[in-house]
Chains A and B, each alone.
Chain A
Amino acid sequence: MREIAALVRASWLTETSYRVSMLLSLASLVFMIVPLYFVAKALQPLMAQPIATESTQYFAFALVGATVYTFIAACTSALPTALASSIGKGTFEAFLGTPTNLGLLFVGMSGYSIVWALVRAAVMVTAGVALGAHLVWSALPAVALILLLLVLAYGAVGLVGAALLLRFRTTGPLLNGVLAGSALLGGVYYPTHVIPSWLQDLSKALPLSYGLRAARQVVLLGEPLGVAGHDVIMLALYVTALLPIGILCVAVSLRYARRSGTLGHY
């Protein structure tokens, strides 16, 4: 844990040395939430019926969708981005030269981005609540569990991205494809049952669809976690299936990089 904390602290100190960039990153959230509020207000009569199983208020529905998606997108790209930066700077080889194992290094390297994404998510939720979004605060532990499962499922995609980066120095279309697909079909701004039936099958393949539906049911409708049990189990199955694949891909790529001597290349 100390290794993770040290890596997160180093990233924090690096980021805070770019103060203007950091402040702008937070300020940009206002430009995201305020238009969302007005658009949601305008669409409330139209959306009330389709979102009834997940929320009564369209602004809260969209707020949860946007916040969770922004958070998950940051978590998915956290490791590949940190790895690309570390390889580019030449610090990755130096990290690997220490006795700290690769798992801890990866968590530490991506830890700051995840924590910062959590802070941004908290700012978005706070702004949303200030604008009138209604949330059931007692459901936060259940939401935390759902978010954790989402982070692990999408983190596995990030691991595959990191493996591609180690092997080809690019993640290719993987991350953008998964994130764009999740934004369009994962139920971020509209429930998945309103999209055409042939696309709904694709939507069922995305962990975000299950995570968002479960999160909204508990935090917007105040339902117990058991009501969203099916979605939570599906998420857990995704994690169980995807994480080993991600770890295996990284192991294979690292072995290749060690064999071909490309570990420190950028």
Chain B
Amino acid sequence: MTTSAPIAPYTSSLSGFVRARPLAVNIDQLTKRFPVRRGLRELLRGAGRHETTVVDQVSFDVAVGEVFGVLGPNGAGKSTIFRMLSTMVAPDAGTATVCGHDIWLEPSRVRTTLAAVSSDERSLNWRLSARENLLLFAALHKVPPKETEALVTSMLRTVGLDGTGNKMVAAFSSGMRQRLLIARALLARPKVLLLDEPTRALDPISAQEFRQFLRTELVDRQRCTILLATHNADEALGFCDRVVVLNRGRVLATGTATELKARFSEERYRIWTTDPDHGCFAQLETLGMLRRLMNHAQGIDGWFVVDCAIPGDPSRTASVLQHLFTCGVSVARLERVEPSLADLIAGIIGASARENANA
């Protein structure tokens, strides 16, 4: 899927968001290395310390009011970047500012403007009710006592937990706990919200509702800037204004979803047919109109699935379909499939390699 060779990061030219608005987050050459744990044998041998670079000279800007996706597979460095922004981890090199405050020089100011929501539900007190959890954090966030009750009630209502606020968190579902984590972060009235894989524990319907809530309530109404770390390409490309793609701690590309998709991923389609081995498919491949990715061996009621890439604009897809009909191939359905993260990363690396070769 990936290669370890360093590639030059692609940066979108369509950065209207950043140009038009003030910056909420600025990250410049941020680097973090962690020591590799030595085994007993290495310790006894007196082997020296090794370090692994988990965030490698990462740079990007996020504008005020932007929903910015940090997309990457496991181990890409997304969570470490978030932990550095929330001042929990100290960077080894580079700088980062949140609303103009340096994360290393002014950590307490950063913590007043930024709130991080991890997907770790353990960070809630499970023996307390949702309301009691929020009351505790309202005090820690220094919400004035007179405003606390009203704010907590309002936050519970905002995340749809007003009917279950007095229930012990241990009895909550994962989705409810996730919403409570959001409510807890919102108590601080943050200007920047860090969401680390917030929909990991949610079913697709709840995840969609949650994204809708983020857009309407937090971004549109409260003018909050959101950084969302995810390994779900659909979520990042479908929901975020701009996306940075990370792999092994490095920035591969930054840009809008439309731009990244258009530049780095082919249009993927799924064709339902009774004859997946028909010669017409090979003919189309020879003509360069279609590239078969996978034939699913198992058919359903005699219909088989062919996953393929059809390069070019959507009119090419209509030509492919017409060609299949002309050849007498039975096609029940042709549907567009969203590119996966793996496809996108492979596309970016492939494009970079081609550009290097051309250069």
Contacts and interface: CB of A to CB of B under 8 A. Distances in A.
A194 interface: no
Contact of B88 (A3, A7, A91, A264): A264
A90 B142 contact: no
A93 B185 CA distance: 13
Interface string A226-266: 00000000000000000000000000000100111101100
For the residues of B in contact with A, the DSSP-based class is mixed
Chain A binding site: helix, strand, loop or mixed by DSSP? Answer: helix
Contacts of B124: 91
Nearest to A98: B140
A236 B34 CA distance: 42
B88 A14 contact: no
Contacts of B128: 10, 13-14, 17
A7 B123 contact: no
A93 B88 contact: yes
A97 B115 contact: yes
Given A6-B140, A97-B88, A98-B137, A14 B127 contact: yes
Given A13-B132, A90-B120, A260-B35, A5 B139 contact: yes
Interface residues of B, number: 36
Nearest to A258: B90
Interface string B308-324: 00000000000000000
A97 B125 contact: no
Interface of B: 32, 34-35, 80, 83, 86-90, 108, 111-112, 115-116, 118, 120, 122-125, 127-128, 132, 135-142, 145, 168, 184, 188
Interface of A: 2-3, 5-7, 9-10, 13-14, 17-18, 89-91, 93-101, 105, 255, 258-261, 263-264
24 contacts: A3-B139, A6-B135, A6-B136, A6-B139, A13-B128, A13-B132, A14-B128, A89-B122, A90-B122, A91-B123, A96-B87, A96-B88, A97-B87, A98-B188, A99-B111, A99-B112, A99-B140, A105-B140, A258-B87, A260-B34, A261-B32, A261-B88, A261-B89, A263-B88
The 10 nearest A-B residue pairs measured at CB: A6-B139, A90-B122, A98-B140, A90-B123, A94-B123, A258-B90, A14-B127, A10-B136, A100-B140, A261-B89
